[in-house]
Amino acid sequence: MKCEKKLIRIRHYMAGLLAVWLFCIHTVPVFADRAFNDIEHSYAADAIEAMAAQGYVTGYQDGSFRPIHFISRQEWASIFAKSLKRTSNGKDVTSFRDVSPWALPYVQTLQAENITKGIGDQLFGAKHNMTRQDMAVWYARYFGVSEDTRASGISSFVDQSDISNYAQTSVWLMERLELIEGDTNHYFHPKASVRRQDATLVAYRIWLGGDGLRERAKRLLESLGNGAATTNPPASPPESKKIVVDLAPEISHQRANPEIEEPKSHSPRPDPPVSPVTPTEPKPEPPVIRPEPSPKPPVTPPVLPPDHSTDFVVDEVVIKAPELVNQPETYPSYQLSFDLYKEGHLVSIPNASVTSVTYTFSDALGVFDEYGKIVHPENIPAADGYIPVEIEVTIAKPYHVLKAQTKLIVKGKTPPVEDPSVIRSVYLATYTISQATTLDPATWSMPYVFQNAKGEVIAPGLLPSDLKLRIEDPKGIFDEDGHIANLHLIPAVNSVIPFKIEVESPSQGIHFISDAELTVVPGERKKQYFAISMMLQGKDAGSTTTVEQIEQARQLLMDHFGPNLKVTWAMENRFIFVETNRPQLKKVLEYVDQYGDEVGILDGYPNNLYGLPEWEARMNEWLYMYRYNALNELHQSGSLGSPSVFESMDTDQYRKYLPKSLTGFTVNPEQAQWLKDHFKITSAMGWSATQYNVNNMYGEGSPLMPYWSNKDNPIVPAQGITDNSGIVFMNSITIDPIGSRYTKNSSRWTLHPGDPYVTETDAAPQLYIAQQYLDNPYQRLNTVNYMSIILDINWLAKNHNMSQIWDSFVNHFPVDREVEIVGVDGLKQIYESLAGSNNDHTEFTLMFRGSGIKTVMDSNNSPANLRYLWTENASQRIILSKEDGDAAWSIIDFTDYTRNPIPKMPYNLDRNTDVSYVTGRNFKLDPTAPLTAEEIQRVKDRLKQIYFAEEVNYQ
């Protein structure tokens, strides 16, 4: 019995609370010590504090709650799920891809209970503003509204036709429960955004109503006669996809600069909720006042059949208090009233019982008389004050007394309507940015959305002509105009980039700063290639590459990369000269037939050891003996040096077995031209990376960019058709750019698996460097992204640690990267298809850091505290370096490929000849050489082209 009385008292108390309409203006007492520093004048201050005490809502690190900022759908999901103690394991729901990690458990809970289905298969609309009608829909589904529920009538709002079809029943129910009401003109504004204080107030009332409120909703739904109310409501209809979106990103958990005062005119994301909190009774933001408020017609819901007996039984009274505006001219027409309920149903007083029902209004301030009319207007408090109102209703037969209380909020005069084109907030129309490896900075821009005081989007044509925006990005990723300034500074996937947007318009008298953020997401990667040239050499047992080594080398690659790969089998003279190597040649031809592998020529001798006639003789011998041992059916005695040797294989049947490329130390112009003229070979890969030749001669070509080489000097990219040799020159790079000693005590930037000076037995350093190539932030700018390597597989097999390193490298190569294994000529064809027949628009840029390895040979070092930026195109090569802790980058190389005349490279060179093509600063030749003003400008222009704007020391 005591429990029933207590329940009745709670219900009476709840009825009074629920009568304070959801979106009308209310107020609460002002307390000196609030949980948040900005809710003193919020109508929802008490509700905010109560909900904060329970851990259901949280504020910001600056102590604010930001009550008038709009609330996003994922923020609302968090409050909704926590305040109603809804939990789910999320196993049977598909995660939306736009929900922040902190909000995902709450969203999945609502998915599992069919309270929301998002706005698409993969999108929840997480950062869109929550709308008034969707708030009604979520709660109505919680109360039991399903797709089968149909209201016998529609809501009484003037703008009910603006309510989306999927929300009509839900709004009807919430109105019947007296949880929502419109503005003074009885407009509901279904698609308007909900503010944080509104949301907290609603959640507080529902939380306070508990099971009693849900039972009342159940009875209302059962009265429809369609069995809509159930304990576990069925799936609800999909929410409208025409949501009024909040185009602002969520607020970060931590501000970028806590010292800067947070603006009050934007809506960032609150911190992810922590433990529960309990707020106070709220006071919604002033509703939209239409021109001249007219009295709202009474809502006439279905009534119970008249009771013809003399007894009149009701169990609940609710005070109906219209909005009280602090304007004396409205006082005479103001009237308090009440509604009576029986078991959740609104009832009217039968004629026979009219005289047996009496009522009395009272209030502590003495504003109203007993009939609810204003008799002492001088006692009405100022705007945002409140009047505690009570009613006592007495029913004579059977004798029964009902009581209710409410707090009547006093609203100030409606301010003049602001011009809808005045900017009050700015948001981004996107919440994400692709990671650097997949981003095209030339096409990316920062899209803005401007809203007025009502939260409405301002059309671009209505924006002021003097509007100025400026981005403040302490990380240096964006410049003031919002363009990409430093591409390489974009952090890893799932990172958040916080920044500020400064908005200024002198004509509108506005100047404010708004927080914003972008989440880094994966994007579509540009395809990458890995060119592999396998060296086959030796003629004696033990020094010759065997069939087993060939099979093992290819099988290792296929086990990791799959069978659809192609490699080059580069063979030297000694290897193809002996008949005992015919099984190896047969295996290579088998791979050409089966997989499309390539045959190549290997010649590792420096070109200064013999003259061009000897080179011609060696190449003729190579092709003659290759045909003899690999394609013996074509052999013709006495044809050595004759064009007929090549012509006999240059047929539809045998052309695929012809050599396609040269793998060697480097290529001399005469050598390259001879191979092109006699064997149609236009692909060359150098073994020595940046060095043109061994024997300490100075010569540096492009180690990173495949390029059409100059006819007089293969180190220099051709500048046009007239000086183009027609040969694509490549280097064995990326795993092994040995390089010049640009930085003191540092020459080896990466490590080759076959380096005899490496004592490690795993491939950690090589994989570290390879990963930097694979995740090079400048990928989208490059003509082609590639790695390449030349492997002596016999040497690897005979040296245990080298074999282990290569096995480890292949087996631990990242499987989530799209990398195609190709041969030397295959890479040349890819470059040709992308660049065309010249170098005009080709480029390559790479940023990488040393692996931290120092080999037993002191000159081969890869310091981990050094970073390098290597960028080049057909005009120049630029290398910057920066040691950790340095304030600026240093220029350690500037090579000018456009210098005239092109130095013609002689065939024979002695070890003291400088064959490099260098102007400006080069550490090897002159580490202190100053750059000219023209060269400095070229460096600056190039760095701007690749979106690099960090500080550089130009001297």
Question: Residue 507 has what pLDDT?
Answer: 94
The residue ranking higher by pLDDT, 700 or 216, is 216
Range from 271-275, 332-336, 630-634 that averages highest in pLDDT: 630-634
Question: Residue 40 has what pLDDT?
Answer: 78
Range from 537-546, 549-558, 611-620 that averages highest in pLDDT: 549-558
The tens digit of pLDDT for each residue in 564-611 reads 999 999 999 999 999 999 999 999 999 999 999 999 999 866 566 677
Query: For residue 342, what are the β-bridge partners?
Result: 345
Question: Residue 22 has what pLDDT?
Answer: 33
Q: How confident is the model at residue 87 (pLDDT cuts 50, 70, 90)?
A: confident
CA separation, residue 191 to residues 69, 162, 676 (Å): 16, 8, 72
As a whole number of angstroms, the distance between CA 166 and CA 148 comes to 11
Element (H, E) at 108: helix 104-112
As a whole number of angstroms, the distance between CA 876 and CA 938 comes to 9
Among residues 690, 708, 710, 709, the alpha carbon closest in space to that of 700 is found at 690
Question: Which pair of structure tokens corresponds to residue 591?
Answer: 């791979």
Q: Are 217 and 170 in contact (CB under 8 A)?
A: no
Question: Residue 262 has what pLDDT?
Answer: 31
The arithmetic mean of pLDDT across residues 724-751, rounded, is 58
Instruction: Give the pTM.
Output: 0.61
The arithmetic mean of pLDDT across residues 648-657, rounded, is 97
The arithmetic mean of pLDDT across residues 619-624, rounded, is 97
Question: Residue 694 has what pLDDT?
Answer: 41
Question: Residue 383 has what pLDDT?
Answer: 80
- The percent of residues above 70 in pLDDT, for the chain, comes to 77
- Judged against a pLDDT cut of 90, whether residue 514 lies above it is answered with yes
Q: Regarding beta strands 889-896 and 876-883, do their DSSP bridges make them parallel or antiparallel, or are they unpaired?
A: antiparallel
Question: Residue 29 has what pLDDT?
Answer: 33
As a whole number of angstroms, the distance between CA 169 and CA 175 comes to 10
Question: Which pair of structure tokens corresponds to residue 511?
Answer: 């100047």
Question: Residue 913 has what pLDDT?
Answer: 62
Q: How confident is the model at residue 260 (pLDDT cuts 50, 70, 90)?
A: very low
Q: Are 270 and 75 in contact (CB under 8 A)?
A: yes
Least confident segment among 243-252, 533-542, 889-898: 243-252
Q: How confident is the model at residue 799 (pLDDT cuts 50, 70, 90)?
A: confident
Question: Residue 912 has what pLDDT?
Answer: 60
The tens digit of pLDDT for each residue in 118-136 reads 777 678 888 888 999 999 8
Question: Residue 701 has what pLDDT?
Answer: 61
The arithmetic mean of pLDDT across residues 731-754, rounded, is 48
CA separation, residue 128 to residues 72, 193, 477 (Å): 5, 9, 26
Q: Are 128 and 107 in contact (CB under 8 A)?
A: no
As a whole number of angstroms, the distance between CA 869 and CA 556 comes to 33
Question: Residue 189 has what pLDDT?
Answer: 87
- 């395809």: which residue's tokens? 527
Question: Residue 280 has what pLDDT?
Answer: 33
- Judged against a pLDDT cut of 90, whether residue 153 lies above it is answered with no
The arithmetic mean of pLDDT across residues 6-34, rounded, is 40
SS3 396: coil
Among residues 775, 247, 263, 777, the alpha carbon closest in space to that of 517 is found at 247
Least confident segment among 251-260, 322-331, 348-357: 251-260
As a whole number of angstroms, the distance between CA 773 and CA 39 comes to 52
The residue ranking higher by pLDDT, 748 or 648, is 648
The arithmetic mean of pLDDT across residues 620-645, rounded, is 96
The arithmetic mean of pLDDT across residues 608-621, rounded, is 86
The tens digit of pLDDT for each residue in 379-436 reads 999 887 889 999 999 888 888 899 999 988 888 876 677 889 999 999 998 889 999 9
Dihedral (Cα; 795, 801, 806, 812), 10-degree rounding: 170
- Judged against a pLDDT cut of 60, whether residue 549 lies above it is answered with yes
Question: Residue 386 has what pLDDT?
Answer: 87
Question: Residue 312 has what pLDDT?
Answer: 82
As a whole number of angstroms, the distance between CA 467 and CA 464 comes to 5
Question: Residue 449 has what pLDDT?
Answer: 94
Question: Residue 570 has what pLDDT?
Answer: 97
- Judged against a pLDDT cut of 50, whether residue 277 lies above it is answered with no
Question: Residue 693 has what pLDDT?
Answer: 39
